Every structure is written in structure tokens, then in C-alpha cells.
Structure 1
Amino acid sequence: MTVTKPDREPSLLERAAKVYDFTAHARARGGVVPPVQPAAPVVDTPVAAPAPAAAPAPDFADATFLAIPEELRAPIGDEFGDEVYYPEDPDDTARIDRGMLAANGMIVPGAPVGPLAEEFRLIKRQLLIASARIAESESADKARMILVCSARPEDGKTFCAINLALSIAAERDTEVLLVDADVAKPDIVKQLGLIDGPGLLDALSDSRIDVEDLVIATDVPHLSILPAGTKTAMDTELLASARTRAVIARLLAANPRRIIIIDSPPALAASAASVLAMRVGQVMLVVRADRTPESELRAAVNILDGCEHIQLVLNAVAYVQGGARFGSYYGQDSAQ
């Protein structure tokens, strides 16, 4: 399998390596590192990490790495600035719980721009550039679909999927549909403070259902949600069926400006991830710096090889003391 990335000068990995302590989390023995205590979701003063070790990071020369330090998980905003959005018909939209987003350390619509929003600006820009190239050279439909996955549970894939959706929704010319396809353990609706209901699996199970009728419009501009729906033991078989192609085609045709972000089950925990990877143009594979062994990462990449374009996002990276970062620009330097 060829893992590709957009060309850029300088590479984002080189840029990030000057700021974050990659090698402390990617040492010998196949990338296995001792577990560390995770940082609190909201941190006013980031704790400096030890100096980087001399050992090189795992060799994924053809992959795109982007860093999301756990210290940035604070309710510090997105790209809407101070603009307040009032839907034309509040009865037709679901209100996303901003307080819950803040409590979970996610981007909060309407808050000032901060470091976390800037990290996801970098991530989404690379994905959107790749989407444009895929549309030109391969499939225009696949180019509009991004699968967010991880090797195993609790690596932060749903956290990244929600923030990515919020960030892309801030684009002026784009609509975003966030699909919860982690059908065994769906969590998107809960994390957004929405009321659960029928969703993807219901549309796959019953051809009489128009999947677009199950899409939840939200009070965040350009963002809508498709819940996982009613659980079934046949989830992988449904996702692999011809009905899935029809459902995806319907979602794409309903809005030509729509980008579909799919929150997938972990690749090493559920077989559905490999099926979903064949449907999309890109996979954003979330790698937790303090716990994902290199061996598991490589196994996940192999499982997802139905998609030729895999971007790796390094989650929960520690700061390097004294390194420049978005936090300093936005007035979040550590105390002197």
C-alpha cells in the first residue's frame, strides 16, 4: 500500500518536530513506551516535557503527521470569532451543547480563536488540499469523504472527528456531515449534547428509509449529524452491502458542497473499519503518542489499505520546553 501526503515546504513533521517532543513517545522496541498519566482536559499552565531523546521516531516516511498536544485540549475556540449564529427556524435545528464541548476540551463555536483551533486548521487544510487532488485524479465522490479512525479504543479518534468537523464547518464554501459509524459504541451524539435517534444503521437496514430524513441539522453553521442508529449484530455486513453505496450516494447528492466525515470503529477492535476504508478518499488515522505502539499502528495501516491516502495525526503530544507554539501567540504562555 502507498501512503501519500500532499507536497509542502517545509514538511509539517519537520515543523512539528521543532515544537513537540515526538521521540519521547517513540523509542525502541517497536515504539512501545511506558504509560504516562494523561494531562487534565483544561490546563492553564502547560507542564514542560523532558528534552527529546536521541532515538529517531518511527519511520513512516510517506505519511503525514500532525500534532495535537493534550495540553491544548481547552475550551479556547474555533474560527467563528465573536459571531453569534441564530438559526432561521430554531425548531428545525438541534442545539449543540457548548458547555459540554468546553468540559470535554473541544473547539467551542463562538469562542475566540485559540491553539486547538489552529492545530485543526492545519489538519483540515492538508485534508482539503488532498481532497482536491483526489477529485482531480481519482473520484470526485470519494474525495468528499474522510474516515477518522484509530488503531485501538481511547486513542482520541472521536475527539478528533468532532473537532475536525467543527473546523471544516467554519469554511465559507463547505457543508459538513459528521457520521457516527462507530456503531458498536456510538458517542458523537452524546458528546454534542444531542438527543439520539434513528440513523445510519436504520437506513442501511430498511431501503424504504431516506437517509437524508435522519440527518440532524444543528445550530452550528454548515454542520449536521447522522447518528449511528439502532444497533444490530449485522453491522459489518450492512456496511459492506450494496445498500451502503446507495446511502452514501444519497448523502453526497443531497448537498454538492457537503464533505462527509465518518467516525469509524477502531481498526484493531472492529472489522467495520476495513470496510469503511474502501468507501472513502482519505483516512485520518489518530495515533496517541503516549500509548499507541508502532506495531499496532502498522497493523492498523494494513487493515485500512482499502484506502490509498492515509494521514496520521499524532494525538496527546507533550510540549518541548521553550519551543514556539500557537499558545504563545494566543497569550497562553506558561508562567515565568
Structure 2
Amino acid sequence: MTEQSKIDRKGAKPASLLERADKTFGLDGLGPKKVPGNLPQPKRRHPTSEGTVSQAAATSAAPTSKQSVVEPLPATEPVAHPAVTLSGPFHSIDRDRLRDEGLIVPEDPVTGLLEEFRIVKRDIIADAKAGHAPKQRRILVCSPHQGEGKTYCATNLAIALAAERDVEVLLVDADVIRPSVSRRLGIDAERGLMDALADPSIEPERLALKTDIEGLFVLPAGSTGSHDAELLASARTLEVLDRLTQGAPNRYVIFDTPPALAASPAAELASHVGQAVLVVRADETSRAALEDARQLLSACPNLKLLLNATRFSPSGRRFGDYGETGV
């Protein structure tokens, strides 16, 4: 209970509860003490220049013999693989044969066909540069059915792409069922892609034929057999393709494959390329066939559609008219 005996009831003004508590418990003694006047004066420190450390601070920061010093790890440079040089035998390409096959002839005047494939290659080059990966420079050319012009487009694309400055193009005949790239170009070679896949001791770059078209190399299909699909599905395929693009940032590899709805190699190779060109023939390829082929090539992240053998132009003009009319 509150102490009542010490309350002065006769005074002019009764003490408050806080005042009585202070008087009873001696709260005055809990206040801050006075600072003595005889304390020694602290020594003044001279400021150091900005950005430097004083000698005392440096001494205290120095490690003792019992402390372990952790040295920073040296910066490591990315491992650069040596460039693989395409070093197969030399073969000349018969220009008259190119004309007979309706293909682009590098030395001939600019034609509408060349201009059309220039547009196709620009899109492919742009996507390859945007991807910054060797896989983006591997392009599969396929069609849903036979006779839609896949080999024709693959060969013309390779010739047009080889015309780029400081670019190498390797045209691979991956149609192991009915190889036709070598026939169209007049090349006679026994060994090629399937030989390198079947025998790990064979270096694929030594089978890539150098042609007299600047920048163009050809890898034939090689020896084919009943287990070609299994070879293409093996881990060896990735090893071969990686080697063909190793250390060569300006090298493009174009694959001419069997029709997607006729054989499995196109679907097998789709997972090893960064771009795929699906060739369809105007007024012939059905929408259902196009959709089925698209599903089979879905392992490739970038699928392009190339409409072949068109005869309709919305503007009524075709590439090549500018030079012919002189407008």
C-alpha cells in the first residue's frame, strides 16, 4: 500500500505521487554523474590523405604467423579448341552440268534464282549469328515427300551461301537412302558420312571434298547399309558433327536428308541442328503432310518453310526483271 504517514496535509500544495516516490526511493541518485575536471586530454590524430591507410592500421591488419593467407585464384581463359580443317581430295564442278540441273552457276550473271536464294541465306545467317553457337550453323534441308525439291534447294542454298566473304560451306549428302548431291554436282566418291559414323578411327574432315567453287566443300553419303538409321541415332553422330564445326565460326554445314515422311534420318538429325528448312512444293504438298513433317522435325528449335516451284507473284514481278528491263 502507499505510505500515508509522511503526506503533508497542512501544506499549501500536496506533493504529487512522483514527487513522493522520488523522496521515498531516492531517485536523485540515479541521475548522470558529473564529469571530473582533471581527466587527461586525448591526443589529437593527424588526418591522413584520402584513400591511404595509416601505419598503425596497416600494422594491425597485417596477418600474423598463425593466420593463413588465402591467395586469389588466377583468372582462367576459356579453352579454345583448335580449328578442324576440311582436308579431303579436290574435285572440280562441271558448270554445264550445273546449268543442266537448273542450279546456280557462280560465274554466270545474276539471275532471279540467285536473288531468291540470297534472301533465304540472309535469314539463315541472321539466325546463326544471333544464336552464337556452332549448332546454329548446322542447317537441315528436308521435305515431307519425294519430288518436292529438297536436294535442289539444299544445293542452291550451299552455292549461294559459299559466295559470302570469309565463309566455308560444307554440303552433306545425308540422304543415305537415295543420295543425289554427288550426282547433281558430278562428283564420284566412295567414302563419306556413313563411313565416318561406322568407323570412329575415320576423321570426317578428311572425307570432305574441296571443290573449285570458292568456299564450297561436299561430304558424300558414303557406304550405306541396313543399319544407317541406327548409326545416325548413335552418340557418334554428335561427335562427327561437333568435329565438323569445331573451331570454325565461319563454317556452315547444310544437310540434305531423306523426306521426313518416308524415312527416319531427318527426324534423327533434327536434334543435332539449329535450323531446319522444310521445302514444300506449291499446289502439291498437302496441309496434312506439312503438319506431320513439322511434328517429326520438332526437335529442331528453328523451323523455316520454303515454298518451291511457285508461279504466282502478287505484284506481277519476279526477281531478275530489274536487270532485264533496265528500269
Q: TM-score, normalised by structure 1?
A: 0.69
Q: Following TM superposition, by how much is the alpha carbon of 1:326 offset from its aligned partner in structure 2, in angstroms?
A: 1.4
Q: Following TM superposition, by how much is the alpha carbon of 1:98 offset from its aligned partner in structure 2, in angstroms?
A: 0.8
Q: Following TM superposition, by how much is the alpha carbon of 1:180 offset from its aligned partner in structure 2, in angstroms?
A: 0.4
Residues 212 and 254 in structure 1, CA contact (< 8 A), matched pair in contact too: no
- Match of residue 152, structure 1, among 145, 148, 164: 145
Matching residue of 2:234 = 241
Within a 5 Å distance, the mapping from 1:180-329 to structure 2 comes to 180-253=173-246, 255-320=248-313, 323-329=316-322
- For residue 326 of structure 1, give the secondary structure of its aligned residue in structure 2: coil
2: distance between equivalents of 1:255 and 1:308?
22
Whether 1:109 aligns to 2:86 is no
RMSD: 1.6
2: distance between equivalents of 1:217 and 1:130?
26
Whether 1:93 aligns to 2:90 is yes
Matching residue's letter, 1:128: I
Q: Which moved more, 1:216-225 or 1:247-256?
A: 247-256
Give CA-to-partner distance per residue, 1:269-311, whole Å, 9 cap, x none.
0011111000000000001002100110000000000011100
Matching residue of 2:39 = none
- Residue 272 and residue 106 in structure 1: after superposition, are their counterparts in 2 closer, same or farther (change >3 A)? same
- Unaligned stretches of 5+ residues in structure 1: 1-90
Aligned residues: 239
- Residue 196 and residue 331 in structure 1: after superposition, are their counterparts in 2 closer, same or farther (change >3 A)? same
Matching residue of 2:8 = none
Q: Following TM superposition, by how much is the alpha carbon of 1:104 offset from its aligned partner in structure 2, in angstroms?
A: 1.1
Give CA-to-partner distance per residue, 1:64-93, whole Å, 9 cap, x none.
xxxxxxxxxxxxxxxxxxxxxxxxxxx952
Matching residue of 1:126 = 123
- For residue 313 of structure 1, give the secondary structure of its aligned residue in structure 2: strand
2: distance between equivalents of 1:247 and 1:332?
49
Residues 151 and 297 in structure 1, CA contact (< 8 A), matched pair in contact too: yes
Q: Following TM superposition, by how much is the alpha carbon of 1:131 offset from its aligned partner in structure 2, in angstroms?
A: 1.2
Matching residue's letter, 1:222: G
1: distance between equivalents of 2:135 and 2:315?
42
Matching residue of 2:51 = none
Matching residue's letter, 2:201: R
Matching residue's letter, 2:160: S
- Residue 187 and residue 324 in structure 1: after superposition, are their counterparts in 2 closer, same or farther (change >3 A)? same
- For residue 331 of structure 1, give the secondary structure of its aligned residue in structure 2: helix
Residues 280 and 307 in structure 1, CA contact (< 8 A), matched pair in contact too: yes
Matching residue of 2:169 = 176
Which structure has the larger Rg over C-alpha atoms? 2
Q: TM-score, normalised by structure 2?
A: 0.71
Q: Following TM superposition, by how much is the alpha carbon of 1:97 offset from its aligned partner in structure 2, in angstroms?
A: 1.3
Percent identity over the alignment?
48
Matching residue's letter, 2:140: L
2: distance between equivalents of 1:146 and 1:322?
31
The answer to which structure, 1 or 2, has the higher relative contact order (CA under 8 A, 6+ apart) is 1
1: distance between equivalents of 2:97 and 2:314?
31
Q: Following TM superposition, by how much is the alpha carbon of 1:325 offset from its aligned partner in structure 2, in angstroms?
A: 2.0
- For residue 292 of structure 1, give the secondary structure of its aligned residue in structure 2: coil
Matching residue of 1:56 = none
- Unaligned stretches of 5+ residues in structure 2: 1-87
2: distance between equivalents of 1:332 and 1:178?
35
